[in-house]
Amino acid sequence: MAFARLSAVIAFAFATVQVAKGSLIKRITCPSGQVTANKACCALFPIVDRIQKDLFDGGECGEEAHSALRLAFHDAIGFSINGTGGGADGSILAFNKTENAFRKIDDITDRQFPVFLETGLSAGDFVHLAAAVGTGNCPGAPRLRFFFGRPPPKAAAPDLTVPEPTDSVTAILSRFADAGFAPHEAVALLSSHTIAAADEVDPTIPGTPFDSDSQVFLEVLLKGKLFPGNGSQPGEVLSPLAGEMRLQSDFVISQDSRTACLWQNMINNQTRMTRQFKRAMHKMQLLGQGTLTDCSDVIPVPKPFAGPIKYPASFSQADVQQACVQSAFPSLATVAGPAPTVAPV
Ligand code: HEM
């Protein structure tokens, strides 16, 4: 009897595996020859090519790709679990005149708008597809997921939903919590600042990056020495390297007891960083949305990160402002040579 029950369990498990295997190998070949899990996604392959050509200079991880990721954040975070805001609905693009008044992203929406019109996508699908494609152009980034079928946005998002670099950690975490994100997810989302630069914090030095090479979690912890441009600006604190900008918000998050270990644990752990970032981005890009179609296989596969993370030349553990007391700081090598100057984007 016991054996019979066991064999029934085995037979059931086998059938489940077969079904699971069957769904794994289900593939549609589109008229273009590209392969996807859902027929509805076929229409996206030529749109991805167009976005790469017309917005990302043929597939570069340049300023437009960075901006597309930032725009997706500003769009989606206009959401509250208490019922306001349409979330990842593209309202930032469709209602750009209204949202620009309080989000200062007109340079990004101006560049995206003509390409958006060419594609025929809803604003939400365009904003979040462009973010996934642009991020995938950056070596070491995860292949973000993309779900298709957002309806047109109904209204502009409310003001004061995007965190400011001058905000306190409490204010930032409570804004993220109001949008449904725990502190570890907020820190994971800040992996985005490995592909980021500032144009507006100090307008005298547009395109000033937040790190030298995919190592924002390390460099934000190095002792600050200088301001890269026209002295101290609101939302900026001392940076360790010439040509590099450190946001006050990144720094205070790296130092706060609620987030310091979450921050430190991301250093030299590419797998953890990309996995958590991908998961948090997926959640963010679905905020406020109903059932959508999984078209993740239209997103190009990013190149791997060469790694490992190293101290920039002339830096060592003696330069670290370690705030996480629960775990040891990772042991890292130092790049050879004189201290670098980080080039603008
Ligand atoms: C505490 C939350 C955050 C604050 C205070 C913040 C603040 C900023 C600021 C001040 C800039 C520079 C803007 C400029 O001067 O041009 C920036 C750039 C950027 N941020 Fe954030 N950010 C936050 C979270 C995020 C998140 C969650 C994402 C994406 C998931 C993101 C993605 C980016 C990107 C990609 C850029 C670079 C844009 C470009 O180079 O054009 N940020 N952020």
Ligand 1 in reach of 172 Cβ (< 6 A): yes
Q: Does residue 186 form part of some domain?
A: yes
**By C-alpha distance, which of 69, 45, 48, 67 is closest to 58?**
48
> Looking at residue 7, what is its pLDDT?
35
Mean pLDDT, rounded, for 222-237: 98
Instruction: Measure 23 CA to ligand 1 centroid, in angstroms.
Output: 38
- The chain-wide mean pLDDT, for the chain, equals 91
Q: What is the CA radius of gyration of the chain?
A: 22
Residues 40 and 154 placed together within one structural domain of the fold: yes
334 within a domain of the structure (yes/no): no
Compute the distance between CA of residue 165 and CA of residue 79 in angstroms, rounded to an integer.
Answer: 19
Binding residues: 75, 87, 89, 91, 193-194, 211, 213
Residue 1 included in any domain: no
- Residues 130 and 193 occupy one common structural domain: no
Place of tokens 């921050």: 263
What average pLDDT score do residues 238-261 get? 98
Q: Is the pLDDT of residue 104 over 90?
A: no
The answer on 106 and 151 residing in a single domain is yes
Which of helix, strand or coil describes residue 67?
A: helix
| 202, 235 contact by CB (below 8 A) | no
Distance, in Å, from the CA atom of 143 to the CA atom of 100, rounded to the nearest integer, reads 29
- pLDDT tens-place string over residues 78-89: 999 999 999 999
Among 109, 124, 113, 112, residue whose Cα is nearest residue 79 = 124
Q: How confident is the model at residue 9 (pLDDT cuts 50, 70, 90)?
A: very low
Q: How far apart are CA 169 and CA 173, in angstroms?
A: 6
Predicted pLDDT of residue 219: 98
Residue 130 and residue 112 in contact, taking contact as beta carbons nearer than 8 Å: yes
Ligand 1 atom, smallest distance to 281 CA: 30
Do 157 and 249 have their domain in common? no
Residue 252 in domain: yes
- pLDDT in the model for residue 214: 80
pLDDT at site 189:
98
CA angle 90, 73, 166 (to 5 degrees): 130
Q: Is the pLDDT of residue 304 over 50?
A: yes
- Cα 220 to Cα 103: distance, rounded to the nearest angstrom: 25
Catalytic one of 74, 128, 184, 282? 74
pLDDT at 136 over 90: yes
Residue 97: pLDDT band with limits 50, 70, 90: confident
User: How many residues are recorded in the chain?
Assistant: 345
- Domain of residue 256 covers 169-269+306-319
Instruction: Tell me the per-residue pLDDT of 266-277, one tens digit each, with 9 for 90 and over.
Output: 999 999 999 999
Structure tokens at 304: 């791997």
CB atoms within 10 A of CB 327: 11
As a whole number, mean pLDDT of residues 91-99 equals: 90
Decide if 147 is inside a domain: yes
Is 228 in the same domain as 121? no
Residues 124 and 260 in one domain: no
Same domain, yes or no, for 148 and 245?
A: no
Same structural domain for residues 194 and 313?
A: yes
- The pTM (predicted TM-score) of the whole model is 0.93
Q: Does residue 154 lie within any of the structural domains? A: yes
Residues 147 and 90 in one domain: yes
Band of pLDDT at residue 213, cut at 50, 70 and 90: confident
The protein residue with its alpha carbon nearest to ligand 1, atom 32, reads 70
CATH number where 216 lies: 1.10.420.10
Same domain for 215 and 88: no
For the Cβ of 201 lying below 6 angstroms from any atom of ligand 1, the answer is: yes
Quote the tokens at residue 250: 């990144």
Q: Which of 114-118, 184-188, 207-211, 212-216 has the lowest mean pLDDT?
A: 212-216
- CATH classification at residue 139: 1.10.520.10
The pLDDT assigned to 102 comes to: 66
How many domains does the chain fold into?
A: 2
Name the closest-CA residue to atom 38, ligand 1: 67
pLDDT of 26 above 80: no
Active site (annotated) includes residue 282: no
Ligand 1 mean position, distance from CA 335 (Å): 27
Q: Give domain status of residue 226, yes or no.
A: yes
Is residue 141 domain-shared with residue 287, that is, in the same domain?
yes
Q: Are residues 240 and 260 in the same domain?
A: yes
Task: Please confirm whether the linkage preceding 304 is cis (ω < 30° from 0).
Answer: no
User: What pLDDT does 52 receive?
Assistant: 98
- Mean pLDDT, residues 318-329 taken together: 97
Q: What is the reported pLDDT for 6? A: 31
Any domain includes 22: no
The two beta strands, 236-237 and 208-209, are unpaired
| Residue from 157, 175, 182 nearest 72 by CA | 157
